[in-house]
Amino acid sequence: MSDIAYTVTCTFTEGAVADEWVVWLRDEHLADVFAGGATEAEIVRCDDVPDGAAARLEVRYRFPSRSAFEAYVRDHAPRTRAAGLARFPLERGLSYGRSVGVVIVSSRAG
């Protein structure tokens, strides 16, 4: 069984909102996604920022299987997404994107 990589990308028009989003992810949201079946997560501040944006961040989650990811999407994501949008509505200058894929190679030094 292969891991599933799930990436959420968020672009911000204001840097202060991006910083607030990172604190919320770290202190609250990641725990909810772990409770929903994710086994790993990392928050990345991207170097390539679109024109007119202050920041672009990626949250990269790992799930142990397609079925674990599908259970997260079905049973947990509606609530966690709603909580995120309530706290960070698009009117605050955010735009979201998502991608999902199968991990075909994973490696670490050492």
User: Is 108 among the domain residues?
Assistant: no
Specify the residue for token string 């698009």.
90
Whether 110 shows a pLDDT value over 90: the answer reads: no
Give the pLDDT confidence score for residue 17 in this predicted structure. Answer: 98
DSSP, res 45: E
Range of the domain at 51: 4-102
User: Is 70 among the domain residues?
Assistant: yes
Q: Which of 67, 69, 75 is nearest to 98 (CA)?
A: 69
pLDDT digits (tens, 9 = 90+) for 41-92: 999 999 999 999 999 999 999 999 999 999 999 999 999 999 999 999 999 9
Give the pLDDT confidence score for residue 62 in this predicted structure. Answer: 98
Q: For 29-38, what is the mean pLDDT?
A: 97
Give the pLDDT confidence score for residue 63 in this predicted structure. Answer: 98
Rounded Cα distance between 32 and 63, Å, is 13
Q: Residue 14 maps to which CATH number?
A: 3.30.70.100
Look at strands 4-12 and 55-63 and give their pairing.
Answer: antiparallel
The number of domains in the chain is: 1
User: Is 17 among the domain residues?
Assistant: yes
User: Is 46 among the domain residues?
Assistant: yes
User: Is 107 among the domain residues?
Assistant: no
Band the pLDDT of 1: cuts 50, 70, 90.
confident
CA dihedral 12, 55, 22, 105 (to 10 degrees): 110
Band the pLDDT of 95: cuts 50, 70, 90.
very high
Give the pLDDT confidence score for residue 9 in this predicted structure. Answer: 98
pLDDT digits (tens, 9 = 90+) for 9-22: 999 999 999 999 99
Give the pLDDT confidence score for residue 49 in this predicted structure. Answer: 95
User: Is 90 among the domain residues?
Assistant: yes
